[in-house]
């Protein structure tokens, strides 16, 4: 009985003193699930994942470099923040590369149904990556965040393509300046 109490007390003292080792920490459901998702990633050749902190699997970057479509040869970086509610809550995904796209606004918010109303716990990080990649292959003007880009895509496909190229080379589209995001 005393040994049990002393172990509990040691653990409590370690947590209070900030000495709690990672070997004592219990992995949360979100950490267990994200570890499984990452181990099972099957990335297309146009995508890569980067972890700035290899011990923090809940925050990472996805780089998409489309090899076809309007956004061919671009390099687009997305940040993923996986909350403790994962997999019951979708990760927060932001596009860090400013892009002229009907489904990504100028603040980096992404309009992808599985990140919102169609999220289900059975979906994985892999599903989100393929969904994001698909947005670059087939932009959807029917469900826009950037209404101007959506209108141009619907009314004048050639002008839309010119605007995408202008933005990816680094330049103005209307009054908005875009940083260069073409691969070198």
Q: What is the DSSP string of 24-40?
A: TSPPPHHHHHHHHHHHT
Quick one: which of 76, 99, 101 has its CA closest to 152?
101
Q: Indicate if the pLDDT at residue 184 is higher than 90.
A: no
Percentage of the chain with pLDDT > 90?
A: 83
Asked whether residue 18 is domain-assigned, the answer is no
Asked whether residue 3 is domain-assigned, the answer is no
Asked whether residue 46 is domain-assigned, the answer is yes
Asked whether residue 132 is domain-assigned, the answer is yes
Number of domains in the chain: 1
Whole-number pLDDT of residue 26: 83
Helix (H) or strand (E) holding 134: helix 125-137
Asked whether residue 130 is domain-assigned, the answer is yes
Alpha carbons 182 and 177: distance in angstroms, whole number? 15
Asked whether residue 32 is domain-assigned, the answer is yes
Domain coverage including residue 96: 28-178
8 Å CB contact between 153 and 124: no
Q: Indicate if the pLDDT at residue 174 is higher than 60.
A: yes
Higher pLDDT, 76 or 18: 76
Instruction: Write out the catalytic residue numbers.
Output: 111
Q: Indicate if the pLDDT at residue 1 is higher than 60.
A: no
Q: What is the tens place of the pLDDT at every residue in 151-169?
A: 999 999 999 999 999 999 9
Whole-number pLDDT of residue 24: 53
Mean pLDDT confidence for 40-61: 95
Asked whether residue 64 is domain-assigned, the answer is yes
Alpha carbons 46 and 14: distance in angstroms, whole number? 45
Confidence of residue 183 (pLDDT cuts 50, 70, 90): confident
Asked whether residue 10 is domain-assigned, the answer is no
Confidence of residue 27 (pLDDT cuts 50, 70, 90): confident
Question: Which CATH number goes with the domain that contains 135?
Answer: 3.10.110.10
Helix (H) or strand (E) holding 62: strand 59-64
């Amino acid at each position: 009985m005393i040994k049990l109490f002393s172990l509990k007390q040691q653990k409590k003292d370690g947590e209070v003193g900030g000495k709690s080792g990672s070997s004592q920490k219990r992995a949360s459901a979100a950490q267990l699930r994200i570890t499984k998702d990452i181990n099972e990633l099957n990335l297309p050749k146009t995508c890569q994942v980067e972890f700035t902190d290899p011990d923090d699997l809940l925050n990472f970057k996805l780089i998409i470099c489309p090899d076809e479509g309007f956004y061919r040869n671009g390099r687009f970086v997305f940040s993923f923040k996986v909350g403790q509610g994962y997999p019951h809550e979708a990760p927060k995904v932001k596009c860090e590369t400013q892009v002229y796209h009907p489904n990504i606004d100028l603040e980096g918010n992404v309009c992808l149904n599985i990140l919102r109303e169609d999220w289900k716990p059975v979906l994985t990080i892999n599903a989100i990556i393929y969904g994001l990649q698909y947005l670059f292959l087939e932009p959807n003007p029917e469900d826009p965040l950037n209404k101007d880009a959506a209108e141009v895509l619907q009314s004048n496909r050639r002008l839309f393509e010119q605007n995408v190229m202008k933005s990816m080379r680094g330049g103005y589209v209307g009054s908005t300046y875009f940083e260069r995001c073409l691969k070198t």
